[in-house]
Structures are given as structure tokens and as C-alpha cells.
């Protein structure tokens, strides 16, 4: 079974019910982690996934609430006596990721993150797409903050994850007609969410990266008054979508 799991639907705020930003993809047995904010390593255990099962992490940008659990994740692979890592870990991100990872290794020591039996392999994505195995991912710039969204097609359906993003024409294009979109709803107003739904025609929009409570049913009602036929829902940690 392939799936998309919301590991963290929160922000930099410290909350009991939400961890910071992260989405876990399982695509035919291959795990891909999109962002790795605080609390996500523990959420993986709750989702039934061990850290050493994940060989691919994609970072949308370098804000702490999207990358802060990268350190405990990598350290667990190198030093944990339970499920130590034996396979290479691949890190993907925009321009600057090599500098970020090199800086962490300089601070903590390279052996804090990798061992002779495996390596940390860093991929700086400068094109608009990349592949993991045979699976293609679009890696699209979504202002502000050097943020990038991830979009892919799986078994004939399309999916989009935004990381951080504000309301702008690039995001409308990025979400256009996707079957499922997980969007940053913390940096935009309710009216922007409605406008995104109406303009993009995304079939299902899941509001994540939440700084506030969102009345998704009310937003869906407003969007349908303007001709939107899809679904708007509020994400929660450990929500699973079968792909």
C-alpha cells in the first residue's frame, strides 16, 4: 500500500497536539520524508516507521520548523543501538543545502551523522525536478523564503505539498487541478485559502502548517458559492491518505 501521512501539521509554536512541518510518503515500499521539523522523529515511531527505513529526505527550505529534527534523525542513524542505519541517507534541497549539512557536520562532527558502513549523500536541486529511483518529483519555487514545493504523479493522480507559501500566482499554478494538496495555511488568510481553491480547482485541499484554528467546512461552503466542487479539510498529525 502506498500512502501519504501528515507527521506534523504545526509550526514553530510548541503545541501538544501538533508537531512542526513534515509529510511522509510511502511509494511502493520507498519512504520519502518531506521536511523534518521538531517532534517529527517521535511521530515516525507513532506512524510505525523506524528512522532507518527512510533513505530520502527532501527539505523545502531551511527554516528551523522545517529542518530542526534533521539532527536527531541523523544522529540516531549513526549511534542508536536500536535499528542503526546501514544504508545511505539521501538529502535533497534547494541551493544552500550542501552548506547547511557541511556546517552541521563541522559543529557536531561527521561521525555524528554517518559511519563507515553508509554515507550522507547531499543533492542540491538546481533544476525544477529530480528523481528518486524511477519516480519523478517536481521541485517548484514558491515565494517567499526560498521555499520549494513538491509535486508528483502516482498511479494517475497528482499530489502537491507546499512547505511555506503565501498566496500568489505561482502557488495557483502549482496546485492547479491536483487530486490532493497539502498547503501551508498559516501564512495566509481564510480568504486566500478560498481563492486558492477556486482558482486552482484542486480536488482536495488539506490545510496544514497551522498557526490558528481553521473552520474548513465554512471555507468549503464559501468556495462552493463561487463554483468550487472540491473538498477543503483541516489536517491533523498522523492523518493518513491512501494513494
pLDDT tens for residues 2-34? 999 999 999 999 999 999 999 999 999 999 999
Task: Evaluate if residue 145 carries a pLDDT over 80.
Answer: no
Task: Evaluate if residue 144 carries a pLDDT over 80.
Answer: no
Confidence of residue 202 (pLDDT cuts 50, 70, 90): very high
91 preceded by cis ω (within 30°)? no
How far, in Å, CA of 179 to CA of 203, rounded? Answer: 5
CB distance 111 to 84 below 8 Å? no
What mean pLDDT is predicted for residues 71-91? Answer: 95
pLDDT tens for residues 109-123? 999 999 999 999 999
Angle at 96 between CA 91 and CA 102, to 5 degrees: 65
How far, in Å, CA of 58 to CA of 163, rounded? Answer: 11
How far, in Å, CA of 38 to CA of 123, rounded? Answer: 22
The DSSP secondary structure of 185-239, one letter per residue, reads: -SSS-HHHHHHHHHHH--SEEEEES-SS---HHHHHHHHHTTT--SEEEE--TTE
Amino acid at each position: 500500500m502506498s500512502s501519504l501521512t501528515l507527521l506534523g501539521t504545526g509550526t514553530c509554536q510548541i503545541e501538544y497536539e501538533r508537531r512542526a512541518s513534515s509529510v511522509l510518503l510511502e511509494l511502493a515500499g520507498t519512504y520519502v520524508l518531506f521536511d523534518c521539523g521538531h517532534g517529527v522523529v517521535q511521530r515516525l515511531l507513532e506512524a510505525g516507521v523506524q528512522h532507518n527505513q527512510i533513505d530520502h529526505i527532501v527539505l523545502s527550505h531551511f527554516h528551523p520548523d522545517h529542518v530542526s529534527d534533521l539532527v536527531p534523525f541523523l544522529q540516531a542513524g549513526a549511534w542508536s543501538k536500536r535499528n542503526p542505519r546501514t544504508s545511505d541517507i539521501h538529502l535533497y534541497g534547494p541551493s544552500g543545502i550542501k552548506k547547511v549539512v557541511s556546517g552541521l557536520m563541522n559543529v557536531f562532527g561527521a561521525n555524528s551523522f554517518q559511519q563507515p558502513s553508509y554515507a550522507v549523500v547531499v543533492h542540491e536541486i538546481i533544476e525544477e525536478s529530480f528523481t528518486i529511483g524511477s519516480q519523478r518529483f517536481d521541485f517548484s519555487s514558491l515565494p517567499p523564503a526560498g521555499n520549494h514545493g513538491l509535486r508528483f504523479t502516482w498511479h494517475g493522480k497528482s499530489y502537491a505539498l507546499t512547505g511555506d507559501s503565501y498566496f500568489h500566482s505561482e502557488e495557483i499554478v502549482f496546485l492547479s487541478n491536483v487530486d490532493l494538496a497539502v498547503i501551508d495555511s498559516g501564512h495566509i488568510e481564510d480568504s486566500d485559502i478560498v481563492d486558492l481553491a477556486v482558482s486552482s480547482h484542486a480536488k482536495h485541499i488539506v490545510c496544514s502548517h497551522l498557526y490558528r484554528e481553521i473552520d474548513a467546512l465554512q471555507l468549503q461552503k464559501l468556495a462552493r458559492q463561487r463554483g468550487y466542487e472540491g473538498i477543503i479539510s483541516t489536517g491533523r498529525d498522523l492523518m493518513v491518505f491512501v494513494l
